[in-house]
A and B are shown apart, each in its own frame.
Chain A
Amino acid sequence: MQAVAALGGTGLIGPALGAIGDTGLYVSGCRQADGSFAAVLFDRRGRDLAVLPVETRLHDTAHSRVLNRAVIFARRPGTLAFVIDLDSRRLERTIASPPGRHFYGHGVFSKDGRILYATENDFASGAGLIGLYDSSDSYRRVGEFPSGGVGPHELLLQPDGRSLIVANGGIRTNPETGREKLDLDRMVSSLTRIELAHGTITESVALPKELQLLSLRHLAIDATGAVWFGAQWEGDPGETPPIVGRYRPGSSLSTLMLPEPLARVSQGYVGSVASDARGDLVATSCPKGGRIIVWEAQTGKIAGVAALEDGCGVAPAPARKRGFAMSSGGGLLIDWSLEGASPIASGGSGRSWDNHLRKILS
């Protein structure tokens, strides 16, 4: 049994140690104290740079350094995405999904910033799609291609910029609510690799039969080029299947077992995955269990565990090369490294940070 060292709460409020030459701009969606929703830009000390009110709960952010724009998506089954001009720190435009479609909350820009790729659902057929939006033409929808599965969730661009990796959750949802799960019996979750030049699926890897009820949702890429995934177990809550794993494009999936008591505590649920600045460490957050597990990318071993209640958002640390910024539904932001953790911003603001935190390096 591992000891849990209490670090205390209120006594630790203070800015994290900063570094020079890194403004460490972060973007995250949140629910404000008054119940309204907003996209928030804040610096590495947790100071708000802009609070941009929106009409819907948010999820994840796509960022283009070339355009100096970020696009934050509504949480599924949302139909809106909001373009943020990072120079003026203002909302520049709203993108709407086409009729009969909704967003899943994730998107990614092409390397040149021209095309925004978004995971989408076609209500009628239940087919997963990647929608293409042209940033040079008012984010007009200029095309789409199949995601290669049902319920595509997070997607990421491979480092060469030529392919997307998509996590297809495998769960068809009710078109009326967009959230109620249908067809768990026929669930097939997969990771697909899509070549962007032609929109063709060049690889599709599914889970073994005994993990059929595992839904692959969130992704990050590490320094070695391996794609890490975080999954959600839809089977019996009494079971503790692996919920984290790796996939190296061109080869198969491998899963990583959590030791007890972590396996049980995490409740079969990963909410977000991120690698740190250099991709040496990978964080997988388990908000249901109030734990964020940090892995050594190279070895696949657990490097450390942060206990953060309702902690879900993970992104590279404010200043350190190794470590993470972590956010929680309780409004807390912490700077976590293997040496320790310190608050970036205290809770108690009444703000609830949404699932995903993005660090915008500029």
Chain B
Amino acid sequence: MIRVLCFLAILVLCYSPVRAATPEEHAKAVARVVDGAIVPAFGALETATAKLKPATESFCRQPDPVHREALRAAFIEVLKRWAHVDFLLFGPLAESQRVERFAFWPDSSGAGARQMRRLRAKPDPALLDPQRLGRSSAAIQGLPAFEALLFGDNATAVKDYDCKLAVAIAANLEQLSTEMVRGWTDPGGWRALMLSAGPANSYYAAPREAANELLKAVLTGFVQLRDQRLLAALAKEGGARPEKLPYWRSGGTDAYLEATLAALKQFVDLFDLPGLADPDMASAKSSIDVQFKRAEEGLAMAGHPLRETIATPAGRAGVQQLLAAMKIVQDLIGVQLAPAAGLSVGFNALDGD
């Protein structure tokens, strides 16, 4: 019997490179981010998506400029709320392909446009049922599909089917948001899982593991902002490809990028890695503040709307200032602060080999 118990014993070897933060400090940091940023952000997303469907229905009943602007405002509000969660690629957002279903973007092979063209040429009434739509291709059930339907090239001649499909997409987005709110806040949900990290936890065996998850998420946020949303729109030869910017059709690009910066700033502030690290890293806090300020200034300097200004010298310079500032923060966090705070994103764990 003792032998059997021996076989089942799990041995933990902790790797602590420096004076790392204590498990209690890691747990507090996790609680700050989860309760201060993540859970409220999913709640706000649910609220915003709940308003998209009525705005769509009003516009479809009365497609005049007033209702179009009201619809645009409702859509942009969803984009802003989405920017606060779309880098949390674990837990409820990663399950059931929710991230792809909510926003199939970037879509480098143009799957969304292709499938939408096919669908509008030959409308399928079954997809007007949000449940059915939710089980169909990710490329036609989320934000980019909604945008293409109501703010695309043909937006002046929105057909009946387009409207009904957009209503179904809005309902699907609300449903997905509700599922994610529940996935986080239910007893036994992801909030409870992250806040109860420890030996008895089935997923996070120590607060440090939960903190590592958040570290990975925020670094993903920086990579997405730089590589997917901005670098792709700056052509190498000095030109610009504004059509690579996110949500330019609806005019939501600028608001979405501003919200992304705000979301990353809030997350980083609440996480407070400098506070978890050695005292000699304390100055990093002000460096981070300075760089976020530079990034915000860069975006403002570029001028609005970015889809027009990005091709101008000022627009390009502004975007490059933002990119440079965010790269500094990303490296500061990933290379210096994380190890100093006893955290690690992993070398093999992220490898995929």
Contact = CB atoms under 8 A, between A and B. Distances in A.
B10 A306 contact: yes
B97 A307 contact: no
Contacts of B153: none
A330 B344 contact: yes
A322 to B, nearest CB: 12
A304 B7 contact: yes
A8 B15 CA distance: 9
Contacts of B6: 338-339
Interface stretch (B125-133, B142-150, B197-205, B240-248): B197-205
A343 B13 contact: yes
Interface in B1-41: 6-18
Interface in B94-112: 94-97
A44 interface: no
A236 B12 contact: no
B139 to A, nearest CB: 13
B64 interface: no
B351 interface: yes
Contact of B348 (A10, A271, A339, A348): A271
Q: Which of B18, B352, B353 has the most CB of A within 10 A?
A: B353
Q: Which of A261, A271, A309, A343 has the most CB of B within 10 A?
A: A309
Interface string A274-286: 0000000000000
A105 interface: yes
A2 B8 contact: yes
A354 B346 CA distance: 11
B17 A348 contact: yes
A281 to B, nearest CB: 11
Interface residues of B, number: 32
A340 B10 CA distance: 9
Interface in B204-229: 205, 209
B349 interface: yes
Interface in A333-362: 334, 336, 338-341, 343, 347-348, 350, 352-355
Interface in B304-333: none
Contacts of B205: 4, 265, 290, 307
Contact of B202 (A260, A343, A352): A260
A305 B348 contact: no
Contacts of A353: 347-348
Given A3-B10, A343-B13, A355 B202 contact: no
B348 A287 contact: yes
Contacts of A318: none
Given A236-B96, A271-B348, A355-B351, A336 B7 contact: no
Given A238-B95, A303-B7, A332 B353 contact: no
Nearest to B335: A35
A7 B95 contact: no
Contacts of A343: 13
B310 to A, nearest CB: 24
A197 interface: no
Contacts of B17: 330, 347-348, 350
A331 interface: yes
B7 to A, nearest CB: 5
Contacts of A264: 202-203
Contacts of B344: 309-310, 329-330
Nearest to B92: A238
Contacts of B14: 6, 8-9
Nearest to B204: A265
A328 B15 contact: yes
Contacts of B199: 3-4, 6
Contact of A310 (B16, B95, B202, B346): B346
Contacts of B95: 236-238
A75 interface: yes
B15 A331 contact: yes
Interface in B262-290: none
Contacts of A297: none
A258 to B, nearest CB: 12
A9 B205 CA distance: 15
B15 A7 contact: no
Contacts of A306: 10-11, 13
A7 B199 CA distance: 13
A112 to B, nearest CB: 29
B10 A265 contact: no
A238 B13 contact: no
B200 A1 contact: yes
Contact of A5 (B7, B12, B202, B203): B12
Nearest to A339: B6
Given A31-B347, A236-B95, A265-B202, A341 B13 contact: yes
A264 to B, nearest CB: 6
Contacts of A179: 352
Contacts of B18: 348
Interface string A73-102: 001100000000000000000000000000
Interface of B: 6-18, 90, 94-97, 199-200, 202-203, 205, 209, 344, 346-349, 351-353
Q: Closest 8 interchain pairs by CB?
A: A329-B347, A261-B202, A238-B95, A9-B14, A312-B348, A352-B347, A330-B15, A4-B199
15 contacts: A2-B8, A4-B199, A7-B11, A9-B16, A238-B94, A271-B351, A287-B348, A305-B8, A307-B11, A310-B347, A329-B347, A331-B15, A340-B11, A341-B13, A355-B351
Given A3-B10, A309-B209, A330-B17, 6 more contacts: A5-B12, A236-B96, A264-B203, A304-B10, A309-B346, A340-B11
